[in-house]
Amino acid sequence: MAKPLILVTNDDGITAPGVRTLIHIMKKIGDVIVVAPDSPQSGMGHAITLDSTLYAEKLTIDEESEGIVEYSCSGTPADCVKLALQELMERKPDICVSGINHGSNSSINVIYSGTMSAAIEAGIEGIPAIGFSLCDYKWEADFSQAKEYVQTIVEQALQHGIPKGTVLNVNIPKLTKDELKGIKVCRQARANWKEKFDKRKNPMGKDYYWLTGEFELLDQGEDTDEWALANGYISVVPTQFDLTAHHAVQELNSWNF
C-alpha cells in the first residue's frame, strides 16, 4: 500500500523549530514534501503575492530531513501552497499540514494567521488540511509533549477524512506531556483584541507606530477552544472558509433594495 503524500508548510519560516518538528513527525506517517517561507510571515493572513516575483529554492535544512524534498519560497504561506500544488508537486497531496506555529491561533487569531491561511488554501483546493499551533511564542519552545497527539490527529484525518469545506484548527496548550488531559473538539471562542498604537519617534524625529494590545475573551462557554486550552486540553476546531453569514440572508432579503 502506497504511503500518503503529505505537504508541510508554515508561516514562521522553513528553519523554525516548529516546522522542523512537524516534518519529523510526518516522516513516520508518509512521504513528505516541504514548501515553506524563506523568512517569518506571521500575521500575513491569506495574503498572496501579486506585484513581485516568486522564487523557490530546493535545499536541505538538517540531517534528520535528509531525503525529504524541501523548497524555501520567497512568498507568503498561501503562496507556498499555491506554488506547491501548481508547480512543485507531481501529484496532489493526500493531506496538507501547516505549523507547528510558535504561538496560539485560537479564537479570533485564526483570522490573522498565516499558519491557518496556508491550511485554508489547501482546503479550498479540496485537500484535507490541518493547522497546528503551540501556545508558546518562544523560538526555543518545547514541542515534544505534543508529538504523539499531532501524529494521532493526522492519522485519524487520513483514515476518516475531514468534512468537506472545512479545515482543522488545532491548538496545543503550553503544558508538559503529563499535564495534557487529551483532545477536545470545540467551537471558536468569541473574543477580540483591544488594540492601540504606541506612537514613537525615530532618531530622525519622524513619527512611527507600534501595534500593541490585549486579548479580550468575550465568551464564557465551556465548549470553546479558549476553555479547552485553559483547562489542559488540545483544542480542535473545524473551521470553514465559506464566510457567508447564512443566518443573515433571510433578514437582508426583507430590506427594500
109 is in an annotated binding site: no
- Bond before 108 cis per omega within 30 degrees: no
Closest CA to 114 of 40, 57, 191, 164: 40
- 178 labeled part of a ligand binding site: no
Q: Is residue 37 within 8 Å of residue 75, measured between CB atoms?
A: yes
Distance CA 196, CA 194 (A): 7
Residue 72 annotated as binding?
no
Check the annotation: does 105 bind a ligand: no
Q: Tally the residues of the chain.
A: 257
Cα-Cα-Cα-Cα torsion 60, 65, 69, 70, nearest 10 degrees, comes to: -50
Whole-Å CA distances, 143 to 26, 63, 79, 161, 226: 14, 19, 26, 25, 20
Rg (C-alpha) for the chain, rounded Å, is: 19
**Cell numbers found for residue 88:** 512543485
3-class secondary structure, 151: helix
Full 3-state SS string of 29-42: CCEEEEEEECCCCC
Phi, psi dihedral angles at 204 (to 5 degrees): -90, 0
Q: Phi and psi for 23 in degrees, rounded to 5?
A: -60, -45
Give the contacts of 156 (CB within 8 A, at least 6 positions apart). none
Residues of each annotated binding site: 11-12, 42, 101
Residues of each annotated binding site for a divalent metal cation: 11-12, 42, 101
